[in-house]
Structure 1
Amino acid sequence: MKILVILPNWLGDAVMATPAIELLSLHYPHARFTFIGSYVSIEALKHHPLCERAIVDETKKSSSRLFATYKLAKELDEFSLAVSFRNQIHSSLLLRFTSTVICIARSSWHSKLLLSHTPKIKTDKHLVEQYSELAMINTDHFNGESPNLKLYIQRKKFDRPTLGINAGATYGSAKRWYPERFAEVASSYSDKYDIIIFGGPNEVEMAEEIEDNLKALQIKNYTNLAGKTSINELCSFIAGCSLFITNDSGPMHVAAAYNVPTVSIFGPTRYKETSQWKNEKGLIVRHEMECSPCMKRECPLKHHNCMKEITASEVIEAVKELDLKD
């Protein structure tokens, strides 16, 4: 049975879609997947053992995205089932152009016009649960239970216990805690862990700020990998960490997929919807604010208090609480 899956664009959202994909593979034991998505989502999920084909969607780069979408659809095989985790018109068009009979996407004006199954999925639950409900809408056997996150990238084995620091958050500056505070937390555990600073190509400057602060604190056992890892390496290295300190971000969800002990720092986003899924070793540090969750890329009030008021001491105490659980 061939199933087409259009993945979410963001790394974290793609990881949160993996329980839905696992449910599909369990319900359809002879399933073979074709994944279509952004470069980062494809790089993270293409290792699934039932993935026959993984395609980076580059239709946005075309002078005519409509024609490029049609052309891509006609280059694909026939499918028994197609699911889109994107709520976007070109994704609906892609499913329709494949001539697949059973096409599933969240309810929207374009999906209702173009596709066969367009359920209204309530947003008052974790995004993992939303994706799972969507994927299983055409079955009678879904009991509402979503499995764990699942990535098939091999875990890196470090010689010593390793603390991962992730100060970035691709969505925007409002989700980012401060480099000097990350450095303060890292320095408090530098006697127990080697330190790796993670970050994407656009987060190199922030990682260098953490590095400068560590140097000022005379910490030497760190490696700055910001902008230097592939998606495969990023996932592998995070999976190998003994402890992870992070903003609400894609790497946070990667850590959850491997049950890495994690302290996640939340500010303007809905923590009940995008916190780590089923990571028993994960804790959240956040402050309740009248203005949060605002879901803005930058603080609209210009004070950033939801992150500014979180101290390094609070995060250090959260790490201690994690240690008590082990």
Structure 2
Amino acid sequence: MKILIRLPNWLGDVVMATAFVNAVKAEYRDATIDVIIKKELTGIAELIPGINKVYSFSKQDHPGLKGVYRFGKSLKPERYDIYFNLPHSLSSFVMAWASSAKQRVGFRKEGGVFLLTTSVKKPVGLHRVDEYICLLEAVTNKPVLHRNVDLKAAASQDTSNKVIINFNSEASSRRIPVDKGRSIINALTAHFTNLDFVFVGSPKEAPYIDELLKETNNPNRLHNQAGKTNLKGLAELMAGAKAVLTTDSGPAHLANAVDTPTIVLFGAGDERNTAPYNKTNLQVIRYGELPCEPCVRNTCKLYGIPKCMEMLDEKKIIKALSLYLNYA
């Protein structure tokens, strides 16, 4: 049997989808499993065990629905038995349809009912991991009992005396404001006197990190790696770290998936749906006293700067980290 899985389009969602991939492998033990992944996220696919072939897809290389259709049609000679489509956009359904896979499974959204052979009503209120698993359960008609988000990344260097910090997010409502970030950094370096802190981010986030690290205390223990690692390298960096302190973002899921102790700072996002899935070595912190939390918006419409992030308690963050760092 040959199975093709179209992975989601965002880093955190791809990481959460590894539970789905693991469940498919467990159900179809003798199947060959291939995946389609957004070009910018290809490095993550290398860390998912049991994948046979990785197709890299880019809207720039295959523009419009015609480009998507041609890409899907190029898969037709592979004669896939099942095509699981995890996104729920029209273009992803067109790609699935063009592949001519015998069974095309996805959510009943954006025309999916017409282009898929099995369309599943998208559940409401479930965690994203469980949402994806619903697609497999719809095909097999039996529950998936074991759900584990997992990436295999070996530590790239000795970062055992370092904490990785990610204060970035694609959404400004989930990003730590600069002044608040400096306050947290100063509190951390004052309390954890024997540790170094490594700041990560994408190349476009590097200017934010540069600004964040200005006028902070103990600069000799602050290391800026923003824009200097690819996604695979970031996972390997996190795999060797003492802990990861991060906003609600893709890197939070990355850290959780490589089993590094992870503290996630939540604001606009809803942890019931999108918090890292593995509960071992995970702590979620939010302010929790604003009536607008969580607004699930990408920008703060009420305050401009996200007050839910601005009001986070440094003492709670230090306490959470202390559980993993053997500090009183």
Instruction: After TM superposition, give the deviation of residue 173 of structure 1 in Å.
Output: 0.7
Counterpart for residue 207 of structure 2: 205
User: CA separation in 2, counterparts of 1:301 and 1:67?
Assistant: 41
Counterpart for residue 112 of structure 1: 113
Residues 160-216 of structure 1: per-residue CA shift (max 9 Å, x gap): 42100101112x1100123313422441355232221111112112211333243xx
Instruction: After TM superposition, give the deviation of residue 51 of structure 1 in Å.
Output: 2.0
Letter in 1 for 2:195: Y
User: Would the aligned equivalents of 1:167 and 1:182 in 2 still touch at CA under 8 Å?
Assistant: no
1:148-297 matches, within 5 Å, as 148-158=148-158, 160-170=160-170, 172-178=171-177, 179-188=181-190, 190-214=192-216, 217-288=217-288, 289-297=290-298
User: Would the aligned equivalents of 2:62 and 2:68 in 1 still touch at CA under 8 Å?
Assistant: no
RMSD of aligned Cα (Å): 2.1
Residues 60-115 of structure 1: per-residue CA shift (max 9 Å, x gap): 5545x222122212222210110111110010011111111211111114101111
- Worse overlay, 52-61 or 85-94: 52-61
Q: 1:286 to 1:159 in 2, by over 3 A?
A: closer
Residues 202-239 of structure 1: per-residue CA shift (max 9 Å, x gap): 2112211333243xx13312321101111110111012
Residues 273-318 of structure 1: per-residue CA shift (max 9 Å, x gap): 1112123111111122211221111101125221111132221122
1:15-164 matches, within 5 Å, as 15-63=15-63, 65-76=64-75, 77-143=78-144, 145-158=145-158, 160-164=160-164
User: Would the aligned equivalents of 1:8 and 1:41 in 2 still touch at CA under 8 Å?
Assistant: no
User: CA separation in 2, counterparts of 1:14 and 1:308?
Assistant: 29
User: Would the aligned equivalents of 2:81 and 2:101 in 1 still touch at CA under 8 Å?
Assistant: yes
Instruction: After TM superposition, give the deviation of residue 146 of structure 1 in Å.
Output: 4.2
TM-score normalised by length of structure 1? 0.91
Structure 2 segments unaligned to the other structure (5+ residues):
none
TM-score normalised by length of structure 2? 0.91
Letter in 2 for 1:137: A
Structure 1 segments unaligned to the other structure (5+ residues):
none
User: CA separation in 2, counterparts of 1:93 and 1:189?
Assistant: 54
Partner of 2:263: helix, strand, or coil? strand
Letter in 2 for 1:53: K
User: Would the aligned equivalents of 2:159 and 2:237 in 1 still touch at CA under 8 Å?
Assistant: no
Instruction: After TM superposition, give the deviation of residue 5 of structure 1 in Å.
Output: 1.0
Partner of 1:148: helix, strand, or coil? coil
- Worse overlay, 221-230 or 243-252: 221-230
Q: 1:112 to 1:229 in 2, by over 3 A?
A: same
Residue-pair matches, total: 321
User: CA separation in 2, counterparts of 1:325 and 1:16?
Assistant: 31
Partner of 2:198: helix, strand, or coil? strand
Percent identical pairs in the alignment equals 23
Residues 117-161 of structure 1: per-residue CA shift (max 9 Å, x gap): 111132312111111122332013324x34221112323341642
Letter in 1 for 2:69: Y
Letter in 2 for 1:88: S
Moved over 3 A (4+): 46-49, 59-63, 321-326
Partner of 1:181: helix, strand, or coil? helix
